[in-house]
Chain A
C-alpha cells in the first residue's frame, strides 16, 4: 500500500487518501464558516489539553504533534512534513462569593458581593507568542529515524476580571505562557517498536495582577476587605525569559490492529520543576490611605519596582491506545496524568525605591500566593472515521478531574470535574495538503466552596502573636492562605476552536 508522501503510514484517517480526490472547496469553506461562527473558548487551570490539534492527535499519532504527545510516534513520519495549528480559546468564569462577616472577613456574615465575571481569550498571534499555536517541521530519515523541530505552548492561563471585582485579592488578571521549542528524534528499534525523545527549551512569560489587603493584620483599623486599604501588585516580565529545559520521551508499540504509546514530559529540569520569572515591568500601587500615592514619584522613573515570581510546573505522563477497528474506523483512548501536585504556591519578591521604604514595611515585599493543586487525570475516548479518501472526522469525549481541591478554589485557580465533547474534521487537498478544524466545548461542574482554604482571621491571629511560626495561624500565613476568603460558587465554560494545516512534501 502506498503512502501519502510526508504522512505516516496509516490508520483509518489516512488510509483513504490514495484516491487523491480533491474535496469540494465550497464544503470546506462552509464548514470553516460554521466553526468560526462559534465563539471560541477553553482551558484547564494551566495545561493546554489540545496541543497541536484538536480531535486527531495523541500518543499513537504519527504526525509532528508527536513531539508533545509521544516523540516515539514521530517514527511513523515518512518524507518531510510541515504543520501549523492555531487554537482560539475563550474562557468565561463566574464567581459568586459567599457573604462574609464584616468584622472578621469569614464566610457567613451579612456583607454580600456582586457576581463577578472573568474572561479570557487566548490566540497564538501575539507577542510574546500566544498560546494555542503549533508550528513544526520534520522528516523521516533512512527508514528508521525521524527528526522534528516544533514550537507550542504546553501551559498557559489567561483570565481577567473587572478591576473592582470582589475577586481582587486573589486575581484581577493573569496572562501566563510557557512557550516550548523542542527538537524530536525517534528511532524505530523493530518493525513494531519505536522510541523517541524530544528535549526542549521552555520560554516563560507572565503578567499577574492582584490586590493585597494591607489592613488584614489589623482589620479593626480599616475594616475587612476595605478597598481603600488595598494595594495593587501589577507584576510583569519584560518579554519572555531565559529558557528552562525539559524533555519528553516515549515509546510506541504496534501490533496488528493495535497501537499503544506511553510518554513522559518532564517539568523544568535542574530546578525541581521551578520556573523563576524576573518581573521587570512591575508596579505596586499603595492603598488610597497611604501617604505616598506613587512609589516611583521620588525616583523619577517608572516602572521602579522589579522582582521575581517563582512556581513549579507539573510533569505529566501520557498513555494512549488506538484500535484500527476497520479500514475506515479507529477507536482511541488517551489518558494523561498531570502531576499538578507540585504546583502548590507562587512566591513573589519585589524590590522598590530606596527613598520611601514602603515595600518591606507597610507593603509586603515578599508574598506567597497559595495554589494547593492536586494531580489531575485527563481521560478521553475518540472515534476517528474516514468515510472518504479525502475526508475524515472525529468525535471525542474528554473528562478531566479537578486540579484544584474544592477548598482551594479561588478566582486565580478555578477548576472542577470537566466534561468536554469535541468534533473535528480534516480534508485532504491534493497530494500534499491536509486542512483540519475542530471545536470543543468544556463544561465544568459548578464548584461551591463552603470552607475555603483561605482564612483572613489567620492573618490577624498571626500578627497578634508576633508572627510565631509555631502557631497554626502563622503556618497558614506562611503557606499564603491568610488572605480574604474565597468561599462561594464558581462556574466555568470554555470553548476551543482549532485549525490545523499539514503539508507533506
Chain B
C-alpha cells in the first residue's frame, strides 16, 4: 500500500507570500498520466486530494474515491518516483493556489495519509537549497534518549476528526484526527542566561509569565506564521484589518485567497506540556524553564531556584521547548475567515486554534513529526549547528536533581550538581 525508502525526498517551496522568497509550502510533484503537476505536502490538511481532470469553475460537492499517489521528487531536472501511496482515499478537489496566485497545485498529501509515518523535514533558510522530507515508519527512540542527544521533544495532540457524511448522496468518508496542534507562547521577551534574575515567589508562576499563550496548527502547506486577528490582538497588536494593497494569503486549506495583514512576531516558543487543569500554560512554563536555566547557568555564583519552581525543595522538571525567531513573518487574518473556521471546525466549543505555524517560521530547524508514538505524537526538533540563539533554540527536557551527589547536563551547560531553592 505504501512504498518509500526512508531517504530524503527533495521538495520545492512555494513563495511564502505573493512576491516573497521561496520559503513557503513544501511541494512535491505527482504523476498524473504523463503530467507531473505540483502537489502540496501539508501536515495541516485533514484530507488528501487529487483532481481527476480539469478544475471546474464552480466548487462542486467534493467526491471521495480510492486512488493512488505517485509522489515524485521536485528539485532540478529529475522527477524521480520517491514514494507511492496506493489505494488511499482521495478527494476530487482542486487544491488551487499555494503561496501566490501563480503556484497552482493539483492536490494535497494531507494528514490522513501522513499520520501513518514519522516525517523528517529539513527546511533550509536558503531558498536555493531544496527542502527535504524523509518518510520513516516510526521514530523508535524514547523521549529521554532524544533529550540526552540534544533534541527538544514537544508532544502534540491530533485534531480535526470529522464524521462520515452523505451529503448530496455522496458517500464522503469520515476523516481521522490528523492535524498537529501545538501549544505555543507568542512574543515572549528575549532571554539570555547571563541576564538579570527573574524572581518568582511561591504561587506566582502564572503571574510571572510573559508573552501570549497560543494554540497553533503545524502546517507544511503554509509559509508564514498565520494568526487570527484576535490572537494578534492578544499579542498586543493593533489594526488587524488588512491595509489597502496588502497581499492575500494563499492557503491550500481554502479555495479563495484570504485577505491578510502582514506583520512580524518577534519570537515564538513551542512548549511541551500537558493541557491539564494544573498546567500553567505555555508562557508560564517557558518562563519557568528560563528561570531554571538561569539558575543552572549561574549556579557557580550561588544562584538558587526560585520558590515557584520548586516542589519539596527540589526544582521541578524543565519542559522541552523550541524557540524560533526573530521577527517571524506573519499573516493576520480574520477570525471569521474560512481558514480559522476550518481549523476549529472539530472543536467549536473547545480550545480555539489561533492559527498556523508555516514552514518559513521553521526555516533552519530540522524537525521530525512523529505521528506514531502513543498516546501523543511528538515534534522532535534541533537547531542547525551554529545558529544564533535568538533565531533558534531547542531545549530538551531537563530533569531536576533530587539531592546532592547527582549531576545533570542541561541547556548545553556542563554537568552540574544540586542547587538549592531560594528562600521564599
Residue ranges of A at the interface with B (Cβ–Cβ < 8 Å): 276, 278, 280, 299-301, 304, 306-308, 347, 349, 351-357, 360, 364-366, 465-470, 474, 477-478
Known contacts A351-B141, A357-B366: A469-B149 contact under CB 8 Å: no
Instruction: For B5, give its contact among A351, A357, A365, A467 (CB under 8 Å).
Output: A467
Contact residues of B: prevailing secondary structure: loop
In the complex, B41 has a CB within 8 A of chain A: no
B149 and A299: CB pair below 8 A? yes
Whether B150 sits at the interface, judged by CB under 8 Å, is yes
Closest to B10 in A: A466
Identify 8 residue pairs between A and B in the complex whose beta-carbon atoms are under 8 Å apart, listed by A's number: A278-B142, A353-B149, A356-B385, A360-B134, A466-B80, A469-B83, A474-B5, A478-B3
Given A299-B148, A351-B139, check contact A468 B81 (CB 8 Å). Answer: yes
Asked if B146 and A351 sit within 8 Å, CB to CB, the answer is yes
Cβ of B120 under 8 Å from chain A: yes
Interface of A is mostly: loop
Question: Roughly how many angstroms separate A229 CA and B5 CA in the complex, as a whole number?
Answer: 22
Does B189 have its Cβ within 8 Å of any Cβ on chain A?
Answer: no
Pick the most buried of B10, B80, B84, B146: most chain A CB atoms within 10 A of its CB: B80
Are A466 and B78 in touch, CB under 8 angstroms? yes
- Chain A residues whose C-beta falls within 8 Å of the C-beta of B141 in the assembled complex: 306-307, 351
Shortest distance from the beta carbon of A395 to any chain B beta carbon, whole Å: 48
Is the Cβ of A469 less than 8 Å from the Cβ of B6? no
- Cross-chain contact A351 with B3 (CB below 8 angstroms): no
Instruction: Among B7, B82, B150, point to the contact of A353 (Cβ < 8 A).
Output: B150
The CA-CA distance from A177 to B76 in the complex, in Å, is: 47
Given contacts A300-B415, A308-B138, A478-B5, 5 further A-B contacts (CB under 8 A): A306-B140, A349-B137, A366-B136, A466-B78, A467-B80
B positions within 8 Å CB-CB of A: 3-7, 10, 73, 76, 78, 80-84, 120, 134, 136-142, 145-146, 148-151, 366, 382, 385, 394, 409, 415
Check A354 against B150 for contact (C-beta < 8 Å): yes
CB distance from B30 to the nearest CB of A (A): 14
CB contact between A354 and one of B83, B120, B382 (< 8 Å): that residue: B382
Q: How far is it, in angstroms, between the C-alpha of A296 and the C-alpha of B142 when the chains are bound? A: 17
Q: Determine which of A355, A360, A466 lies in contact with B150 in the assembled complex, contact meaning CB atoms within 8 Å.
A: A355
Whose C-beta in chain A lies nearest to the C-beta of B385? A355
- The distance in angstroms between the C-alpha atoms of A467 and B149, with both chains bound, is 29
When the two chains form their complex, are residues A465 and B138 in contact, meaning their CB atoms are under 8 A apart? no
**Which residues on A sit within 8 Å (CB–CB) of B149?**
299, 304, 306, 351-354
Query: Within the assembled complex, what's the spacing in Å between the Cα atoms of A354 and B137?
Result: 20
A190 vs chain B, min Cβ distance (A)? 47
A352 to chain B, nearest CB (A): 7
**Contacts A299-B149, A357-B366; is A349 near B140 (CB within 8 Å)?**
yes
Contact (Cβ within 8 A) B81 A470: yes
Whether A306 lies near B142 (C-beta < 8 A) is: yes
Contacts of B366 in A (CB 8 A): 357
A467 CB contact (under 8 Å) in B73, B120, B415:
B73
Point out the residues of chain A lying under 8 angstroms from B82, CB to CB: 467-469
A467: B residues at CB distance < 8 A: 5, 7, 73, 80, 82
- The residue on A at minimum CB distance from B7 is A467
Q: How far is the CA of A300 from the CA of B366 in the complex (A)?
A: 22
Question: How far in angstroms is the closest Cβ of chain A from B250?
Answer: 29
Asked if A360 contacts B120 (CB within 8 A), the reply is: yes
Instruction: List, in ascending order, chain A residues with CB within 8 A of B6's CB.
Output: 349, 365-366
Of A308, A357, A364, the contact of B140 (CB 8 Å cutoff): A308
CA distance A392 to B136 in the complex (A): 57
Q: How far, in whole Å, are A347 and B5 apart by their CA atoms in the complex?
A: 11
Asked if residues A469 and B80 are in contact (CB atoms below 8 Å), the reply is: yes
Complex Cα spacing A177 to B159, Å? 41
Give complex CA distance A304, B80 in Å: 34
> Do B145 and A366 touch (CB < 8 A)?
no
Give the shortest distance, in Å, between A210 (CB) and chain B (any CB): 18
Q: A92 to B4: give the CA distance in the assembly, Å.
A: 38
Q: What are the 10 A-B residue pairs with the smallest beta carbon separation, nearest first?
A: A308-B140, A468-B80, A354-B382, A366-B6, A354-B150, A466-B80, A351-B141, A470-B81, A306-B145, A353-B149
Q: Which residues of A contact B148 (CB under 8 A)?
A: 299, 301, 304
Does A366 contact B138, Cβ atoms closer than 8 Å?
no
For the complex, give the distance between the alpha carbons of A437 and B83 in Å.
56
The interface residues of chain A lying within 8 Å CB-to-CB of B394 are 354
Complex formed: what's the CA distance from A354 to B146 in Å? Answer: 9
